[in-house]
Homo-oligomer: A and B are copies of this chain.
Amino acid sequence: MDVTEPVFEHRAECAKVSRVLSRIGDKWSVLVIMLLRRQPQRFNELKRGIGNISQRMLTLTLRNLERDGLVSRTVTPSIPPRVDYALTQLGHSLAEPVQALGAWAFDHLDLIDAAQTRYDASADR
């Protein structure tokens, strides 16, 4: 990155934090984390729990979460095979602020909807 020192010196940290946050915001990760928060689950349990995610995206999401050390993957080589996913300790510690943010979102859904409606109405046509 050619970040040419914009204004504050803590830019580099911001960039890193931003990278972490973009993982959280990638549409599926949060849902997976919330589902795993209650208990470990198998691949297709997660798939059904989320409902409209494609197999491909669930795989990718889980791989990324595993790579970040947030989710553990344990394979039981039986027939048929069994794979369990669970939050790591790191994953659980992340789940807390995520939960807080989710709670905020939930609490303010109607305010946001109202604001959007208002905005769209005033932006006539």
Which residue numbers of A lie inside 8 Å of B, CB to CB?
1-4, 6-8, 11, 13-14, 16-18, 20-22, 24-27, 30-31, 34, 48-52, 66-70, 90, 93-94, 96-98, 100-106, 108-109, 111-112, 114-116, 118-120
Contacts and interface: CB of A to CB of B under 8 A. Distances in A.
A18 B3 contact: no
A94 to B, nearest CB: 6
A94 B4 CA distance: 30
A31 B15 CA distance: 9
A7 B115 CA distance: 31
Given A13-B106, A24-B101, A104-B97, A112 B68 contact: yes
Contact of A51 (B3, B13, B22): B3
Contacts of A24: 21, 25, 101
Contacts of A109: 13, 16-17, 20
Contact of A25 (B26, B69, B118): B26
Contacts of A1: 52
Given A22-B27, A67-B119, A102 B17 contact: yes
